[in-house]
Amino acid sequence: MRESEAPRRRRGRSRRRRHARLRRALLAALVAGSVLLVSAGWVGFRGWQARAHLVNAAGLARDLSAQVVTGDTERAQRTLAALQEQAAAARAATGDPGWWLGRQAPYAGDNLVAVRQIAVAIDDLAREAFPSLLRTDLSTLLPRAGRLDVQRLRALSTELQVIDATVRQSRASLADVPTAGLVAQVRAALADLRGEIDRLAALTAAAGQATRLLPPLLGVDGPRRYLLVSQNPAELRATGGLIGAYALLHAEGGRVRLGRQGTSAELGHFTKPLKVPEDVRALWGDLPGIFPADVNLSPHFPTAAALYREMYRRRTGTAVDGVLAVDPVVLSYLLKATGPVLVPGGVPLAADTVVRTLLSEAYQRLGLREQDEYFATAAASVFNTLFTKNVDQMGLLSAFGRSITERRILFWSARPEEQRTLGDSRMAGVLPEKDTVPTVGVFLNDGSGAKLGYYLRPEATLTVGDCQDDGSRELRLRVTLRSTAPKSGLSESVLGLGLAGDPYTVRTLVSVYSPAGGGVQDARLDGTDLPVGTGAERKRQVATASVEVAPGASRTVEVTLHTAKTGSGTAELWLTPTATPWTTQVVTAPSCDQ
């Protein structure tokens, strides 16, 4: 018995030890589970709080933006105070130990990290960037009564550097947040905030560039001369329209005055073509180096500006310091701030009618030479008003901002150090050789030898497609051109050469530029295979086709493209500015790493 009892006692102790270990394990699991449950409940509660604060902050940020644009400073200050309170509360709700513990969990942790970064970014902007923006008088960027206040501009430059640094830091922190595994609501919130901060960064960077560049550009360190050229979208070119008229601007000591005016026709043509970049020459031959009206067949504005400057120098003996391009749609935006402007020998120009006046009615009542003179005088009259009279500063800022966003104001400096400062900004009109986001270009050049571009109504949809095995991405582009031209009644001046056969049919050379490092795969016109001319410019493949649109009809071009290696689920369109703005849509997709 004793021999049998010993094993039983050993087995009993072993069972008790196992039970004790099990009890301890169960107790540990229960404690851990309780902590996780409490933490999950706490994170859930705090997440509900954070979401409410962030939703409130988003609404207040929209209100603040509108109030800043309209110059309602008093209300903007109150809105900012409320925004700061909500942003700080969201940051606090996502910054306690319970939230930190939740961030370590699989699956849910990535979402909590993203929400935390969103809260931090909004709070940083509300505390550090927005107050400085409210204090900053951006109207300093504009001349008053024809003169720029250089001292105020230099003070503004210091403030903008601080603002820009905060915005760039927030932008970088959000860019580092992985999107794989995020729930749809958090991913959408992150994408929206990234987009808003990208736009804010573009604004602060552009304003910073302006504060650095404007003093020397306006002759603070010595006199400057520029060509102000008017692009005519009734006769389309890739950067906007045929350059038909020019005016010489003189800048000195912060003051600007208008000088000689003329037309491209007066410059004639060049029997010995000017040197054109090889990739442009492969696409368009020597035309940009022969005719002033063809310098901007390429969308890369520095090429066009440099050619036009040299043509002007050879004909007049005057070397200018840069070229500033605008179009009649810019004038319509500016006239909202200035009010109607009288033009010698013509009807008053008003915001609602100036595009029709310049691009349609003038052709019906004026001869060719009179048209060019009228266009030069009209542009000069509007800019003379801007440079010599006190006008609504906030209205002007809004007009300039919209024009630059639509690439209707372009500037090129003949001084390399200044051009480098402009970089790849929209105002520089540089076709970049690298993309941060895959960009597809759709550029239009008139092929009718007529002025029917005024009647075009363009639309474009870009859809981000499948991820490819080689790391590239498919893009699908759909461009529709509709003509509102009448079937009769237009003057010979409008109908021009009628190269499409029927003088009322619009012939347009449509050039599609792939993303940098990408390519064009195929093209169709109204569902039928479309033969295209191919080439390349600035590391982008180019496909060009001639599209004819009869009065009242529409034609649709569909192009399949691919990007270089990218994980991006977004893309951008770069379009020729037209008399009637494009109707556009970009359909995004999840990134390839999701």
pLDDT for 37 beyond 60:
no
Is there a domain that residue 509 lies in? yes
Are 48 and 193 in a shared domain?
yes
**Residue after which a domain boundary falls, among 184, 217, 250:** 217
Tokens of 518: 């990408």
Is there a domain that residue 12 lies in? no
- β-pairing, 224-232 vs 322-326, is parallel
DSSP state letter for 478: E
Is there a domain that residue 358 lies in? yes
| Separation between Cα atoms, residue 475 and residue 590, nearest integer Å | 13
Give the pLDDT confidence score for residue 98 in this predicted structure. 64
Give the pLDDT confidence score for residue 201 in this predicted structure. 77
Q: What is the pLDDT of residues 496-542, one digit of tens each?
A: 898 888 999 999 999 999 999 999 999 999 999 999 999 999 999 99
- Per-residue b or e along 433-465, where b marks 16 or more CB atoms closer than 10 Å to that residue's CB: eebeebbbbbbbbbbbebbbbbbbbbebbbebb
Are 250 and 271 in a shared domain?
yes
Are 570 and 502 in a shared domain?
yes
Q: Find the mean pLDDT for residues 299-312.
A: 98
| Separation between Cα atoms, residue 61 and residue 193, nearest integer Å | 11
pLDDT for 109 beyond 80:
no
Are 185 and 238 in a shared domain?
no
pLDDT for 39 beyond 50:
no
Distances (CA, A) of 325 to 38, 57, 356: 64, 39, 19
Is there a domain that residue 592 lies in? no
pLDDT for 185 beyond 80:
no
Tokens of 141: 């960027």
Are 364 and 384 in a shared domain?
yes
Is there a domain that residue 25 lies in? no
**Structural Rg of the chain based on CA atoms:** 31
pLDDT for 406 beyond 50:
yes
- Listed range (190-194, 222-226, 410-414, 517-521) with the worst mean pLDDT: 190-194
Query: Helix 184-217 and helix 108-124: axis angle, to 10°?
Result: 30
Residues 6+ apart with CB under 8 A from 232: 241, 242, 243, 244, 327, 328, 359, 375, 451
Are 521 and 401 in a shared domain?
no
- Mean residue pLDDT across the chain: 84
Q: Report the CATH number at residue 493.
A: 2.60.40
C-alpha angle 528-530-534 in degrees, rounded to nearest 5 = 160
Give the pLDDT confidence score for residue 26 in this predicted structure. 44
Total domain count, the chain: 3
Give the pLDDT confidence score for residue 470 in this predicted structure. 92
Is there a domain that residue 97 lies in? yes
Are 307 and 392 in a shared domain?
yes
Are 176 and 269 in a shared domain?
no
Burial class (CB in 10 A: 0-12, 13-18, 19+), 407: buried
Q: What is the pLDDT confidence band of residue 346, given thresholds at 50, 70 and 90?
A: low
Give the pLDDT confidence score for residue 232 in this predicted structure. 93
Are 175 and 246 in a shared domain?
no
Are 68 and 116 in a shared domain?
yes
Q: Find the mean pLDDT for residues 125-150.
A: 74
Are 488 and 504 in a shared domain?
yes
Give the pLDDT confidence score for residue 259 in this predicted structure. 87
- Listed range (106-120, 217-231, 300-314) with the worst mean pLDDT: 106-120
Alpha-carbon 584 to chain mean position = 13
Is there a domain that residue 2 lies in? no
Are 498 and 374 in a shared domain?
no
The strand pairing partners of 354, in sequence order, are none
Show the domain range for 136: 34-217
Q: Find the mean pLDDT for residues 232-255.
A: 92
pLDDT for 323 beyond 70:
yes
Q: What is the pLDDT of residues 253-279, one digit of tens each?
A: 888 888 888 889 999 999 999 999 999
Is there a domain that residue 241 lies in? yes
Residues 6+ apart with CB under 8 A from 164: 201, 204, 205, 208
**Residue after which a domain boundary falls, among 202, 217, 232:** 217
pTM of the model: 0.79
